[in-house]
Amino acid sequence: MDPTHIWYGRHPLALALAPLGWLYCAIARLRRRGYRNGPFAVRRLPIPVVIVGNLTVGGTGKTPLVLKLAQLTTERGWRPGIITRGYGARSVHCPRIVDPADDPNLVGDEPVLLARRAPCPVVAGPDRYSDGELATNRLGCDLLLCDDGLQHYRLARDLEIAVVDGDRGLGNGRCLPAGPLREPPERLETVDLVIHNGGTAPGHRFSLVPGAAVNLHDPTRTQPLGAFRDRQVTAVAGIGNPARFFAMLRSHGIQAAERPYPDHHAFTAADAYSWPPGPVLMTEKDAVKCARFTRADLWACPVEAVPDDAFIAAFFAHLSDRHFPRQPSRGYGKIRR
């Protein structure tokens, strides 16, 4: 059973699982208190750390927002580095500086996507503090953007940004397994900034604006999304919320045969050749795993996060030189893999 039907509806199983959700919430509260007041150790890096995370299981658009923040901070003279866990990574060398040409099955799909799109270094590994040490000491970064990690309390943070799905919100408001939450809803009251991905809720908001589709077999070939209207198209999404990707295509007049997959699905050649003939549109995160397939009609649909001006102003207010004085930019250190 797809748990989203339980978490984002009025499914009776959510009530039956409620006691387990209460226990999960209680443990999450105790764990956070253990890092705030002891006995668990918190380690601080010598540069500001920005956490971009969420309370819910599944995708909320954190990665595109991290890419946008990397762009904005670079334009203002920072030397950011992105640190990420690398879900599903099988590399034994951690932390690892991610190369755009790395195998996503080895280092994870999101780290490879970040390395291809970001204007700054990307470091992947399960221990965010070790990732940050490498970015600081070897790469010369003076700001860390952590893609996810709101619950990774071992790493001290200077700014917490919580991303909320503007359409689905916090679901039924229950903790796992009765609901989608990894921490109680009141955790949002303690973060520095809350931003919604779409929707109509009050507060800060960003939208995901799609660009031209890029052919996986020949990346020099691009087409506007409008070119796929009135064609037999298959849409593939192995992300936390595939429905959002499919809705984006429909909003551009594309009526596709929808093929949702679990988040971080390890696509195979058998998957690719099971899709009907004709264009196959997919997210960038899925595309990094499908580029090795030889089908010539696979297309990635890149998106850019566009946050509201008030959010950008609030973000940089936290990073003003009054709070985090910086030395003149000397550029990044030499990257040694």
- pLDDT digits over 211-262, tens only? 999 999 999 999 999 999 999 999 999 998 999 999 999 999 999 999 999 9
What pLDDT is stored for residue 2 in this prediction?
76
- Is the pLDDT confidence value at 161 over 90? yes
This prediction has a pTM of: 0.93
- pLDDT digits over 60-94, tens only? 999 999 999 999 999 999 999 999 998 767 766 78
CA-closest candidate to residue 323, choices 332, 331, 315: 315
Cα four-point dihedral sign 61, 109, 133, 183:
positive
- pLDDT averaged over every residue in the chain: 92
CA-closest candidate to residue 315, choices 161, 165, 146: 161
What pLDDT is stored for residue 58 in this prediction?
84
CA–centroid distance for 26 within its chain: 26
Task: Please tell me the distance from the alpha carbon of residue 233 to that of residue 229, in angstroms, as a whole number.
Answer: 9
Tracing tokens 């691009």 back to the chain, one arrives at 222
- Is the pLDDT confidence value at 306 over 80? yes
H or E stretch covering 80: strand 80-84
- pLDDT digits over 21-70, tens only? 999 999 999 999 999 988 999 999 999 999 999 999 988 999 999 999 99
CA-closest candidate to residue 280, choices 310, 254, 243: 254
What pLDDT is stored for residue 337 in this prediction?
41
What pLDDT is stored for residue 336 in this prediction?
41
Task: Please tell me the distance from the alpha carbon of residue 136 to that of residue 46, in angstroms, as a whole number.
Answer: 8
